[in-house]
Amino acid sequence: MLQEPYPELEAVLEMMGEAGHHLAEIEASEGAAGNLSVCLRWPVEPRNHFPLMGEIKLPQAVPELAGAMFLVSGSGRRLREILDQPTASIACIVVNEGGKTGILYTSPHRRFERVTSEFNSHLAVHYDQICASNTNFHALIHAQPMHLTYLSHIPRYQDEQYLNTHLLRWQPETIVNLPEGIGFIPFRVPSSPELMAANVESLRTHRVVIWAKHGVMARSDVTVKRAADRVEYAETAAKYEFLDLSAGGQGEGLSMDEIYSICNTFHVQQSIFQRQS
């Protein structure tokens, strides 16, 4: 939830560019992989940046979000290039009354036909989160970080408890930044209704979820860069785990006592690391 003064459209577009650029720097968006979207719920004039108008049918009805603005990356656009000229890669959708359709605002510089094919998943999660929390800002990122995705191919990491107790043991900050841990969704076909539904469910209780054998989705109700940070924290944890696997399991990892001390000091509520009674 953001407080006034709200960021200008220009600043939000620039942050989407910076987030996209950083995701490319951490090797989480090869080629045109990955997509991002944000939802703004304060009055914003789109036409200075996006003067062309059309109408689109939304992937699902979102009546409570009438008037909300979505900024969404275009299908086939490269996240690393958003920063160069955001309006070439991003579309703006303002939800119409009734929530079944929206006005699609785009720029004459637009270099895409449609918004990302994962927009159904983005919209469903935005809708679910905003209806639950009534936040006026919500950002989502889908990216494909290599080490997290690789680990999701190894059967024992497909268990959420095993995944989290192994990934969150390498740095003190990880449990602080991801106190609910990392969610895990078994493989679902990209853009499918099954992926969409599993994603909504898992993001209710996590800030970042792995889409098995594909990538991740992360959310934030503060900034799109915060969502990108969550991708990076989870990927860094996976890098340590991968390093440890490659080194033959030499690392101790933080002990249970060390993790408890960190959680006590930083007042972290977590249920991942539990002492056996």
CB of 50 to Zn ion, least distance (A): 25
CB of 214 to Zn ion, least distance (A): 6
Strands 208-211 and 183-185: parallel
CB of 177 to Zn ion, least distance (A): 23
User: What is the rounded distance in angstroms from the CA atom of residue 138 to the CA atom of residue 222?
Assistant: 7
Which lies closer to Zn ion via its Cβ, residue 145 or residue 181?
145
Chain positions contacting Zn ion, by CB under 5 A: 215
User: What is the rounded distance in angstroms from the CA atom of residue 139 to the CA atom of residue 223?
Assistant: 7
Which lies closer to Zn ion via its Cβ, residue 196 or residue 259?
196
In 3D, which of 64, 52, 201, 50 has the Cα closest to residue 121?
A: 201
The dihedral over CA atoms of 25, 28, 29, 33, expressed in degrees to the nearest 10, equals: -170
User: Structure tokens of 233?
Assistant: 């924290």
Which lies closer to Zn ion via its Cβ, residue 9 or residue 217?
217
In angstroms, what CA-CA distances link 218 with 79, 204, 241?
15, 11, 20
Give the residue at shortest CB distance from Zn ion.
215
CB of 9 to Zn ion, least distance (A): 26
CB of 202 to Zn ion, least distance (A): 16
| Residue 130, H or E segment | helix 119-133
User: What is the rounded distance in angstroms from the CA atom of residue 182 to the CA atom of residue 168?
Assistant: 9
Which lies closer to Zn ion via its Cβ, residue 144 or residue 236?
144
* Contacting residues for 205 by C-beta, under 8 A, at least 6 apart: 180, 183
Which lies closer to Zn ion via its Cβ, residue 29 or residue 106?
29
Which lies closer to Zn ion via its Cβ, residue 139 or residue 175?
139
CB of 190 to Zn ion, least distance (A): 6
Q: What single string gives the DSSP state of each residue in 13-51?
A: HHHHHHHHHHHHHTT---TT--EEEEEE-S----TTT--
